[in-house]
Amino acid sequence: QVYLVQSGAEVKKPGASVKVSCKASGFIFTSFGISWVRQAPGQGLEWMGWISAYNGNTNYAQNLQGRVTMTTDTSTTTAYMELRSLTSHDTAMYYCTRAGDALDMWGQGTMVTVSS
């Protein structure tokens, strides 16, 4: 069974950073990429970026360039997404996904709330 298990909910103050983890199991981690997708409350899906678990190459959404960093640890088959300089607009559910031809497996989501 393929699983993506994410870290727990976070509450951050404006200006802070958050790092969300995504533990993969049940497949060859380095054969896929990991994409991160977020969803603000009551809103649609927003693609944040992609990282190759094979070589660490990344491709970030333009509106997040400079604030987001995606990494992987192949020894623990875990992907990470760090978002800096948080504002209230970053309050959302954050999902990691297995990225092959499509986003065929999703984590359960991590709620990040930014509030003073």
Answer whether 50's CB lies under 8 Å from 22's CB. no
Give the integer Cα–Cα distance in Å for 22 and 77.
Answer: 9
Give least dist CB 56 to other proteins, A: 17
Closer Cβ to other proteins, 9 or 45, answer by number? 45
Residue the block writes with tokens 């987001």 = 68
Give least dist CB 3 to other proteins, A: 12
Answer whether 92's CB lies under 8 Å from 11's CB. no
* Element containing residue 87 per DSSP (H, E): none
Give least dist CB 116 to other proteins, A: 25
> Which amino acid does the sequence have at 87?
T
Closer Cβ to other proteins, 44 or 75, answer by number? 44
Closer Cβ to other proteins, 73 or 104, answer by number? 104
Give the integer Cα–Cα distance in Å for 26 and 46.
Answer: 26
Structure tokens, 42 = 């009551």
Give least dist CB 26 to other proteins, A: 15
Which residues in this chain contact other proteins in the complex, by CB under 8 A? Answer: 35, 37, 44-47, 50, 59, 61-63, 95, 101-109
Residues recorded for the chain: 116
Closer Cβ to other proteins, 15 or 88, answer by number? 88
